[in-house]
């Protein structure tokens, strides 16, 4: 079995436009990194370091609790006032506006690791998924149709128009508190650290880690990322139940963002915290059709349809291949059924595909559905290639 990309997933029919990185918009991002070198001249003081460490953890919490679990997924409810506080605090990270962040994240979940995903390592490579996608012309503005619930608030639209205002205000406060050291170490160092901790969830957490649940994408649980992001690294858990306020599903999965949110729940600042059902946590819930198809596509792409079709064509010969072409063109039954009826050892059976599915995917109560769909996808791909081979042979004759 060899890999045969791209995978035949339902929402990848139309490839996205070619990437168009807007290099001028990346200049501030580069300058923020270069500003960190200012410590060579300012020196490193304990006060500035303390400011930087505090701002890192406060703003990582704002990203996880605010941008992600609240604005993107509505994992809990809160007042309009505290909603604005979360938005301002999150925007001090200089990761664009709350409307932009939530819109892009909802879009990511809609198309996770397909060709339409805004930041998939599988589709666009590691560096693009880590930060390059932010500067792609297609991702420049927030699509407010993705966040109508948030765009209804004038104050959030104001923050969208003035997305860097909170970050600039915080930079000024750091300078006022500790001079140039406060600006360089307190603000710029912590901002860059928050950048890459956040970005690592889009990149590393789709490449390195373990999959406890079948989610139809490449999301993984990564304990090290969970430590540096206050619980966001339990990414496969999150993709299994996106609206959960808790991302560490097991007691030992470190999730301090959830602990702090639960405390805020006790105090009445937030309420209606959503938790994953027991069936989800214990992996007993059957998967939806969309996830089944995506998981089946991942299994199907392990089988090289071109190689299988060439082997079948060699066995059939020109005469039978032409008959098969006619049968595939006019059959009232499914292509998969026609290919199955050939009963050739070169064509993988459902049992072989089921073994492959069990080997590459986490356990799931929908494993039989995934294997059956993967078998159908493989046979359809083989049938399409056999039809092409038959047409080419007919043209040659």
Question: Distance between CA 244 and CA 336 in Å, rounded?
Answer: 39
Question: Distance between CA 65 and CA 75 in Å, rounded?
Answer: 9
Cα–Cα distances (Å) from 95 to 67, 70, 246, 269, in that order, read: 10, 16, 23, 25
Q: Which tokens sit at 114?
A: 């397909």
Q: Which tokens sit at 52?
A: 């930087």
More confident residue, 337 or 251: 251
The least confident of 18-27, 100-109, 137-146 is 18-27
Q: What is the pLDDT of residues 27-83, one digit of tens each?
A: 899 999 999 999 999 999 999 999 999 999 999 999 999 999 999 999 999 999 999
Residue pointed to by tokens 């890459």 = 196
Q: What is the mean pLDDT of the chain?
A: 89
123 neighbors 114 (Cβ within 8 angstroms) = yes
210 neighbors 204 (Cβ within 8 angstroms) = no
Degrees, nearest 5: CA angle 37-200-114: 135
Q: What is the pLDDT of residues 116-134, one digit of tens each?
A: 999 999 999 999 999 999 9
CB within 8 Å of 2: residues ≥ 6 apart: 302, 303, 304, 307
More confident residue, 372 or 169: 169
| Predicted local distance difference test score (pLDDT) of residue 188 | 98
Ranges of each domain in the chain: 10-281, 289-396
CB within 8 Å of 244: residues ≥ 6 apart: 75, 237, 238, 274, 275, 276
Q: Give the predicted TM-score (pTM) of the model.
A: 0.88
Beta bridge partners of 21: 136
What is the phi/psi pair of residue 102, to 5°? -65, -40
CA-based torsion, 23, 29, 33, 38: positive or negative? positive
pLDDT higher than threshold 90 for residue 240: yes
Element (H, E) at 271: strand 270-271
Degrees, nearest 5: CA angle 222-55-167: 110
146 neighbors 97 (Cβ within 8 angstroms) = no
């Amino acid at each position: 079995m060899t890999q045969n990309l791209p995978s035949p997933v339902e929402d990848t029919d139309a490839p996205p436009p070619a990437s168009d990185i807007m290099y001028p918009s990346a200049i501030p991002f580069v300058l923020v990194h270069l500003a960190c070198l200012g410590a060579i001249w300012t020196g490193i003081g304990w006060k500035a370091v303390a400011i930087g460490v505090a701002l890192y953890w406060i703003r990582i919490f704002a990203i996880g609790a605010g941008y992600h679990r609240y604005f993107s997924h509505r994992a809990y409810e809160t007042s309009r006032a505290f909603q604005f506080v979360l938005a301002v605090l999150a925007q001090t990270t200089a990761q664009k506006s709350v409307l932009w962040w939530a819109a892009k994240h909802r879009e990511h979940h809609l198309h996770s690791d397909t060709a339409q995903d805004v930041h998939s390592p599988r589709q666009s490579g590691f560096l693009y998924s880590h930060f390059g996608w932010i500067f792609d012309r297609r991702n420049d503005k927030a699509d407010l149709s993705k966040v109508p619930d948030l765009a209804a608030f004038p104050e959030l639209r104001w923050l969208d128009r003035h997305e860097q205002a909170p970050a600039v205000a915080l930079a000024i406060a750091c300078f006022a508190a500790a001079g140039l050291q406060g600006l360089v170490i307190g603000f710029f160092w912590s901002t860059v650290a928050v950048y890459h901790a956040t970005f690592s969830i889009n990149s590393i957490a789709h490449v390195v880690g373990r999959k406890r649940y079948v989610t139809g994408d490449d999301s993984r649980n990564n304990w090290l990322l969970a430590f540096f992001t206050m619980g966001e690294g339990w990414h496969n858990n999150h993709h299994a139940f996106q609206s959960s306020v808790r991302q560490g599903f097991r007691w030992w999965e470190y999730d301090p963002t959830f602990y702090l949110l639960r405390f805020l729940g006790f105090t009445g600042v937030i309420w209606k915290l959503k938790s994953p059902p027991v069936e989800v946590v214990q992996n007993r819930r059957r998967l939806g059709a969309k996830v089944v198809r995506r998981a089946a596509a991942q299994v199907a792409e392990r089988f090289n349809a071109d190689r299988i079709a060439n082997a079948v064509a060699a066995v059939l010969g020109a005469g039978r291949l032409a008959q098969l072409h006619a049968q595939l063109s006019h059959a009232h039954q499914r292509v998969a059924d026609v290919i199955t009826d050939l009963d050739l050892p070169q064509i993988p059976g459902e049992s072989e595909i089921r073994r492959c599915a069990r080997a590459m995917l986490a356990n799931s109560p929908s494993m039989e559905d995934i294997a059956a769909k993967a078998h159908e996808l493989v046979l359809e791909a083989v049938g399409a290639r056999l039809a092409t081979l038959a047409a080419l042979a007919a043209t040659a004759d």
